[in-house]
Amino acid sequence: MNIDIRRAVLQNMNQSSFEDVQSTIQDAISTAEEKTLPGLGVLFEVLYNSSDNTGKQEIVNKLVKSLQ
């Protein structure tokens, strides 16, 4: 079975409110289940791709600082 996780996540999150997205992220983090990581990756991809160069630099800087 071939599942397009990216497409499924984008379809499920389409037209989501602030509260929906926040809840999805918080639930995925709090459950700490491996199966939620691809969905968070898709959300990260959307965030990163929709950011301008300054925003991308800020995201990467926050990640680097958080990993130290």
Average pLDDT for 59-67: 97
pLDDT at res. 2: 60
Give the structural domain span for 50. Answer: 5-67
Per-residue pLDDT tens digits for 32-45: 889 889 999 999 99
pLDDT at 58: 98
**The pLDDT value given to residue 14:** 95
The DSSP-derived string for the chain is ----HHHHHHHHHTT--HHHHHHHHHHHHHHT-GGGHHHHHHHHHHHHHTS-HHHHHHHHHHHHHHH-
Count of domains forming the chain: 1
pLDDT at residue 10 greater than cutoff 90: yes
